[in-house]
Structure 1
Amino acid sequence: MKTRAQIYEREAAALLRDISMYQVLTEQQLLRLHPGKDDKVRNLLAYLVRQGRIWQDGPYYCAAPDSTGTVDWTLFAAVWVLADFIGQVEYHSIGDFPAKIIFFAEGEVYEIIYIAQGRETLVTQALKNSGEQPSRYLVIVDSAEQIGALQIPNVNGYCTVSLEGDVEYYRKE
């Protein structure tokens, strides 16, 4: 017979991995990254906080006690986009510039990129020089008006993300 610890071991490890990797996440983000496991996730978050393995600062679950002071809001937004695709995601991780998150889904590599207002040219140039097998891109912008200034190959979609996690998708025509 399995103990409670053995039953929840895999889920706890997955939560710790996500929080350690992304540094600061809300309960809602964690619930969306682990669909269909709401009660388990909530129970494990409470347990991990009591054990001192993660910290809670208001609505945020953090990898370190002072993490909320240094939140990367662009990465935070990228997690919301990742959550929209989590049903197809096989693996996800932090990306290298300009990608915030890289993930594999249905045999394809996707990168979630955040382009702040005024950084369109810099990121466009960085992505034009991508390798032989470029990724598919999901591009987060500060405003939909930026989309017209972007000339990026292999873009599957553009989006804006509110701090509350509302994602609005766009396609370039």
Structure 2
Amino acid sequence: MKTRAQIYEREAAALLRDISMYQVMTEGQLLRLHPGKKDKTRNLLAYLVRQNRVWQVDDFYCAAQDSLENMDRGLLAAVWVLTDFIDQVEYHSVGDYPAKIIFFADGEVYEIVHAAQGKEVLLSHVLADTGEQPSRYLVLVDDPAQIAELMIPNVNGYCTVSPAGEVQYYQKEGA
């Protein structure tokens, strides 16, 4: 007979992996990354907080007590974009600059890239040279007006994320 710990071990490990990887997450993000497991996820989060394996600070679950002070707002927004695709995602992880998140879906590699205000030229330059197997880019912008300034190949779409986590998608005209 399995113990409760053995039954929930896999789900707890998945939550810990996500929080450790992304450092700061909201409950809403965690619930969307683990669809159909709302009550189980909430119970496990409460358990992990009681065990001091994750920290709850305001509305955020953090990998360390000081994670909120060093929060990467671009990464937090990119997680919301990832949650929109979670039903097709086979694997996801933090990415190397300039990607915030890299994920595999439907046999394709996607990178969620954050174009911070004022960094459009730099980002366009960094992503201008695509390798042999270029990724597909989802470009997260702070303001839709930035889209016209970006010259990036292999962009599947542009998006913004509201403070509440609502993702709005855009296409470049003429693309």
Identity among equivalent pairs (%): 73
How far off is 1:70 after superposition?
0.9
Aligned to 2:108: 108
TM-score, length of structure 1 as denominator length: 0.98
| 1:160 pairs with 2:164 | no
Structure 1 gap ranges (5+) = none
How far off is 1:9 after superposition?
0.7
Between the aligned partners of 1:58 and 1:145, the Cα distance in structure 2 is 32
The number of aligned residues is: 173
One-letter amino acid of the counterpart of residue 116, structure 2: A
Matches within 5 A, 1:1-173: 1-173=1-173
Could you give the per-residue CA deviations for residues 138-171 of structure 1, whole angstroms, max 9, x where no partner exists?
0001111111111111111100111210110001
Between the aligned partners of 2:33 and 2:45, the Cα distance in structure 1 is 14
One-letter amino acid of the counterpart of residue 153, structure 1: P
Query: Runs ≥4 in structure 1, deviation > 3 angstroms?
Result: none
Between the aligned partners of 2:151 and 2:67, the Cα distance in structure 1 is 35
How far off is 1:108 after superposition?
0.3
Structure 2 gap ranges (5+) = none
Between the aligned partners of 1:97 and 1:51, the Cα distance in structure 2 is 33
Between the aligned partners of 1:59 and 1:117, the Cα distance in structure 2 is 26
How far off is 1:92 after superposition?
0.5
Between the aligned partners of 1:60 and 1:117, the Cα distance in structure 2 is 25
